[in-house]
Amino acid sequence: MTLRPRSIRVRLAIWYAAALAAIVVAFALGIYLFVRSSLLREVDAQLERDLATVSRVLREEPFEINELAQHGSVEFFQVSQGNEVVAETPGWSREVLEKALAGLPHGPGRSWRSHSGQAFRIRSVVLPGAGQSRVVAVAESEQTLRTSLESIGMILLFGIPIAVVLAVAGGYFLAGRVLNPIEEITALAGAITAERLSERLPVDNPGDEFGRLAQMLNGTFARLEDSFERLRRFSADASHELRTPLTALRSVGEVGLQRELDAAGCREVIASMLEETDRLTKLVDCLLTLSRGDAGGLTVTRVRVDLAEMAADAVDMIGVLAEEKGQVIELEAGAGVCAMVNPEMLRQALINLLDNAVKYSPPGRIDLRVYRTERGEAALEVQDQGPGIAREHQELIFDRFYRADPGRSREQGGAGLGLAITRQAVELNGGRIQLESEAGQGCRFTILFPLV
Ligand code: ADP
């Protein structure tokens, strides 16, 4: 089991305190060692001075050495020759400091604790002489050094836990302050439900991390709101569109029932009802096509398609309709203009465009061109001589159920889904569609795919 506090605030406070404790401990240890070595150096320097004094007296005034031992400035020293003590201070004999020399080599200063419990720093040297060489040993009390180190140690020992406790409290408080905006964002975001998607989080400072988080969430809410709104509109529009043929179907049926009809009359009623059913079926087919495309899971099998052949096919299919309306579809197709697309989907898209051109244009000519663009794309272009589409409608014309001229379009049997299906089919195949039009001067729809 791992102990992992659930709250980020607690985790931050712990991390902060742990990091601070590690730094303080390392710093304290550094200070302690530095002070200790400085104090030791000072004591050692004093030992050197004492040693120099004793050596100088020994060298220059050897008979004064006892006088130095009894009344001199050096508190602890001893001079010995072989096993015989030549001179020693009262302090030296009182503390029995020669024990510190026993068995130890002469040389640099070393610490030693006397029988009375006092700590000393001792240094001894061998002075070569004419006869037997003499040993000079000096000592300095380490009491001051130890007292200072103990005081520092105590300060650090009590100071560090207090600092750590303060760090935990401070860290907890700071983490709370830092994380406060998150609490607010969580509470506000939690209150935004599907019905209140128009609400947004306040962004106090767009440049900082919380500001960016709030902006990102606001962006997500905006997209969600947009999707919800479109879904709502789509359902409302779809029900409305389905209602019209259903109402017609019902009233044709009712009128038929109310009248005494002969066989020909019955056939007429049935034919009207079938016409409405046909309309319904087409509408439902369109809705199904769109929702399949929306689902995202649709796998589009794409093959290399010669666009000239596809255009000729489409002209064959729409040609009869055009003829009925006194229109001619002129096909101008360059050779070898190919794209990787799903043929059924692209055929449907092209037929929708041609169908619209036939539906909305007066008798005359409709141009269908297949070519490669200067930017190296494969293009399919449908141009008519119809009423065109005003600028304000051009952005919306590919939206579902959008009609530039609702009365006229409905009259022609359109539900406003053809261009939505066309755009979806083109985009699912990796292409794009564009419209150039001026009101009163016809439309030019161009489908573009990467050339292969
Ligand atoms: P519909 O089934 O109503 O034709 P579309 O999605 O195919 O639906 O077209 C949307 C609207 O765009 C149509 O209602 C019509 O007003 C306008 N439109 C489409 N194509 C043309 C065109 N070639 N000329 C004029 N208007 C057009």
Give the domain ranges of the chain.
8-150, 209-294, 303-450
Q: What is the pLDDT of residue 432?
A: 97
Give the mean model confidence (pLDDT) for residues 291-303.
82
Strands (E) across 45-106 are located at 76-81, 84-88
Confidence at residue 103, expressed as pLDDT on a 0 to 100 scale: 66
- Residue of 363, 395, 374, 386 lying closest to 444 (CA atoms): 386
Please, which pLDDT band fits residue 3 given cuts at 50, 70 and 90?
low
Residues 112 and 43: their CA atoms lie apart, in Å, by: 13
User: CB within 8 A of 128, min separation 6: which ones?
Assistant: none
Domain at 209-294, CATH class: mainly alpha
Q: What is the DSSP string of 340-393?
A: EE-HHHHHHHHHHHHHHHHHHSPSEEEEEEEEE-TTSEEEEEEE--S----HHH
Q: Does residue 431 line the site of ligand 1, with CB under 6 A?
A: no
Residue 403 alpha carbon, nearest atom of ligand 1: 14
Across the range 311-325, mean pLDDT stands at 94
**Ligand 1 pocket member 360 (CB < 6 A):** yes
Ligand 1 contact, 124 CB (< 6 A): no
Is residue 417 within 6 Å of ligand 1 at its C-beta? yes
Distance 388 CA to ligand 1 centre (A): 10
Q: Is 414 in the pocket of ligand 1 (CB under 6 A)?
A: yes
pLDDT at site 297: 65
Atom of ligand 1 nearest to the CA of 352: 7
Ligand 1 geometric centre to CA of 432 (Å): 18
Would the pLDDT of 168 be above 90?
A: no
The per-residue pLDDT of the chain, averaged, comes to: 89
Of 219-223, 285-289, 420-424, which range is least confident? Answer: 285-289
Neighbours of 169 (CB within 10 A): 12
Percent of all residues in the chain with a pLDDT value above 70, rounded to a whole number = 96
Q: What is the mean pLDDT of residues 235-258?
A: 89
The top-scoring range by mean pLDDT among 80-94, 246-260, 366-380 is 366-380
With a cut of 90, say whether residue 35 has pLDDT above it.
Answer: yes
What is the tens place of the pLDDT at every residue in 88-122?
A: 999 998 888 888 887 667 777 788 888 788 899 99
Query: Rounded mean pLDDT of 169-181?
Result: 88
Question: For residue 152, is pLDDT > 80?
Answer: yes
How far from the centroid of its chain's Cα atoms is residue 168's Cα? 29
- The set of residues, in sequence order, having a beta carbon less than 8 Å from that of 357 and lying 6+ positions away, is 366, 382, 383, 384, 386, 443
Query: How many whole angstroms from 185 Cα to the centroid of ligand 1?
Result: 45
Mean pLDDT of all residues in 14-41: 91
What is the number of the ligand 1 atom nearest to the C-alpha of 442?
A: 24
- Specify the pLDDT at position 154: 93
pTM of the complete model: 0.61
Residue 54 has what pLDDT? Answer: 93
Q: Residue 5 has what pLDDT?
A: 67
Ligand 1 pocket, residue 181 CB under 6 Å: no
The number of residues making up the chain comes to 452
Whether pLDDT at 45 is above 80: yes
Q: Is residue 270 scored above 70 in pLDDT?
A: yes
**Single-letter residue type at 41:** R
Residue 430, phi-psi category: left (phi > 0), alpha (psi -120 to 50), beta (remainder): left
Confidence of residue 317 (pLDDT cuts 50, 70, 90): very high
The vertex-200 CA angle with 185 and 230, nearest 5°, equals 130
Q: What is the pLDDT of residue 439?
A: 81
In CATH, the architecture of 303-450 is 2-Layer Sandwich (3.30)
**Which CATH entry fits the domain spanning 8-150: 1.25.40, 3.30.450, 3.40.1130, 3.30.1490?**
3.30.450
> Ligand 1: does its nearest atom lie under 6 Å from the Cβ of 418?
yes
Give, using CA atoms, the residue closest to atom 25 of ligand 1. Answer: 388
* Structural contact between residues 371 and 334, judged by C-beta atoms closer than 8 angstroms: yes
Mutate to test the pocket of ligand 1, among 356, 382, 399 (most ligand atoms within 8 A of CB): 356
